[in-house]
Chain A
């Protein structure tokens, strides 16, 4: 196997935060004697990502995804364990490595707020030592892939959220990094913009053979981009494997959808499985795979149906179950 592009080895991070009671008395007490609370944000997480792989990084709020990405990009120092990107320690911030990686944060922006996007790009080109002619060439190429060519001369504060996110992506990729860490790159975008960002990441990855580790709470992002997912929960690794395997393992269900000819009470379906939607003409049930044929036969026998279909359950549903269970 080729040397991994990204390696996490027993990676852990504990934060120490000062606690303060509200109010004046609390402030005084805080001043005299500080009390600290330890937050184990990431606990002994290990994984490897091969060059060119696209991996979805999943977990509920507060699971430790962002913290892990911060360690992998050298922003913060791990409390213990090892992080390696392209064989090097990101915390040391060697220029050679920094030129190969990027971190895109959907909830943060690096573009200079009051100046046109191009000015920020100029700074990045200089910082990464890309000649301006070359940088312009790359800007044109990326802007075309993203569809944002028109807005580059406008002050950042005048851009819509979607335009700004695309411009952020452009700025983060001007130096053509080979390893991309993306923390909720589609956060808050409308469906079209999400789709555009997804397509763009796919195209970028194909064109430059880049490695991607990406978090998102939109399962459509993960389904569209990642063949493999890593799931963490409360700082611990829960699952690492193909996306399909996640469904197998955590959701041995099929989703049965019915269109009834006449409305029926929700209670009538409880014995078949988990009722997701019922009461009107439309019914959705989660049925265990083992019982599926029996249940379908019974439904056909007992109800007048306009339509019946059997599907994989929606990924959101599966992920919800994984998070709810917590441990495997």
Chain B
């Protein structure tokens, strides 16, 4: 029964997202930022300054691109919209925690995004012959597991920010802070092994380096994959899951179903 519920929710949210496929396409285009860094690092490599060859940089940044695409979330925005417009009322009436609906919304969207990523991968492989190499089933699966954890963590952080709408008029922008931290400490700007060692040591206990770096390292096979990353991501996911549950319990009493 639970499975049937999940399947239907996913199918309908997939259909819903298909209505917005054009938006999603442009959204993905917006996610091409890592490729600019790729260009910069490849150029540096060509002039002989750095660790890897230009093709290896291309491979690494493509892995970064995919890892990021699979972890993109908007729960902060959607949930606070539900609160502000009173749409949450309908979800409160039904015997399903609104959190699951929000999660289904994200997972369904991934179904639309994935085929687009495959096409972009094809184009990329044609543009940079030899840049993409098959990582092997094991690394592929581990990378997927890591990126799923990264997605769940991002989701619960965004959902927690969205829940602040019970207290604040507009809190969705707080989530931008998360993006900034991710940008600097995730390995998106540059491979982490280029950072000073002391910084690396501290960072490894935070989720940031693992979010993008762990799946990217596994998929590209260039950087050492840190197994501890799985544990760190898992624990942080649990922490933010608990935070979101707590905020939900505390915040619900403040909901005034405005506009509904």
Closest A residue to B96 by CB, please name it.
A127
A-B contact sample (8 more), CB < 8 A, given A73-B93, A122-B12, A127-B5: A70-B260, A75-B89, A75-B92, A115-B19, A119-B15, A127-B9, A127-B96, A129-B5
Could you say which of B94, B252, B257 contacts A124, with CB atoms under 8 Å apart? B94
Contact A77:B257 (CB < 8 A) given known A98-B93, A110-B90, A126-B9 = no
Q: Is B1 an interface residue (CB 8 A)?
A: yes
Closest B residue to A155 by CB, please name it.
B19
- B93 and A76: CB pair below 8 A? no
- B92 and A74: CB pair below 8 A? yes
Docked complex Cα distance between A74 and B86 (Å): 14
Could you say which of A76, A95, A128, A129 contacts B257, with CB atoms under 8 Å apart? A76
Contact A129:B15 (CB < 8 A) given known A74-B92, A99-B95, A108-B86 = no
- A114 and B94: CB pair below 8 A? no
Q: Is B30 an interface residue (CB 8 A)?
A: no
User: Contact string, B74-95, partner A, CB cutoff 8 A, digits 1/0?
Assistant: 0000000000001001101111
- Interface class of chain B by DSSP: helix
Chain B contacts for A110, CB-based, 8 A:
90
CB B170 to nearest CB in A, in angstroms, measures 13
- B92 and A93: CB pair below 8 A? yes
- B256 and A76: CB pair below 8 A? yes
Interface residues of A (CB under 8 A from B): 15, 70, 73-77, 93, 95, 98-99, 101-103, 105, 108, 110, 112, 114-115, 119-120, 122-129
19 A-B residue pairs with CB within 8 Å: A70-B89, A70-B260, A73-B93, A75-B93, A75-B255, A75-B260, A77-B253, A93-B92, A98-B93, A105-B89, A108-B86, A108-B89, A108-B260, A112-B16, A115-B16, A119-B12, A120-B12, A122-B8, A126-B5
- B19 and A128: CB pair below 8 A? no
Q: Is B123 an interface residue (CB 8 A)?
A: no
User: Contact string, B14-28, partner A, CB cutoff 8 A, digits 1/0?
Assistant: 011001000000000
Chain B contacts for A126, CB-based, 8 A:
4-5, 7-9
Chain A contacts for B12, CB-based, 8 A:
112, 115, 119-120, 122-123
Interface residues of B (CB under 8 A from A): 1, 4-5, 7-9, 11-12, 15-16, 19, 86, 89-90, 92-96, 252-253, 255-257, 259-260
- B94 and A98: CB pair below 8 A? yes
Contact A75:B15 (CB < 8 A) given known A110-B90, A123-B8, A127-B96 = no
- A103 and B93: CB pair below 8 A? yes
Closest A residue to B90 by CB, please name it.
A110
Chain B contacts for A127, CB-based, 8 A:
5, 9, 94-96
Docked complex Cα distance between A125 and B253 (Å): 28
Docked complex Cα distance between A112 and B13 (Å): 10
Chain A contacts for B253, CB-based, 8 A:
77
Closest B residue to A124 by CB, please name it.
B94
Could you say which of B1, B90, B95, B255 contacts A76, with CB atoms under 8 Å apart? B255
CB B38 to nearest CB in A, in angstroms, measures 36
- A75 and B94: CB pair below 8 A? no
- B252 and A77: CB pair below 8 A? yes
Docked complex Cα distance between A99 and B94 (Å): 7
- A128 and B260: CB pair below 8 A? no
Docked complex Cα distance between A287 and B11 (Å): 64
Chain A contacts for B86, CB-based, 8 A:
108
Docked complex Cα distance between A119 and B94 (Å): 16
Among B1, B86, B93, B256, the one with the most A-chain Cβ atoms within 10 Å of its Cβ is B93
CB B106 to nearest CB in A, in angstroms, measures 16
- B260 and A98: CB pair below 8 A? no
Chain B contacts for A76, CB-based, 8 A:
255-257
Contact A98:B4 (CB < 8 A) given known A112-B12, A115-B19, A119-B15 = no
- B95 and A98: CB pair below 8 A? yes
CB A128 to nearest CB in B, in angstroms, measures 7
Docked complex Cα distance between A95 and B95 (Å): 5
- A123 and B92: CB pair below 8 A? no
Chain B contacts for A123, CB-based, 8 A:
8-9, 12
Chain A contacts for B16, CB-based, 8 A:
112, 114-115, 119
Docked complex Cα distance between A15 and B255 (Å): 10
CB A121 to nearest CB in B, in angstroms, measures 10
Chain B contacts for A95, CB-based, 8 A:
95
Docked complex Cα distance between A127 and B4 (Å): 9
Could you say which of B19, B90, B256 contacts A15, with CB atoms under 8 Å apart? B256
Closest A residue to B86 by CB, please name it.
A108
Chain A contacts for B9, CB-based, 8 A:
123, 126-127
Counting from the closest, the 3 A-B pairs by CB-CB distance are A126-B8, A95-B95, A98-B95
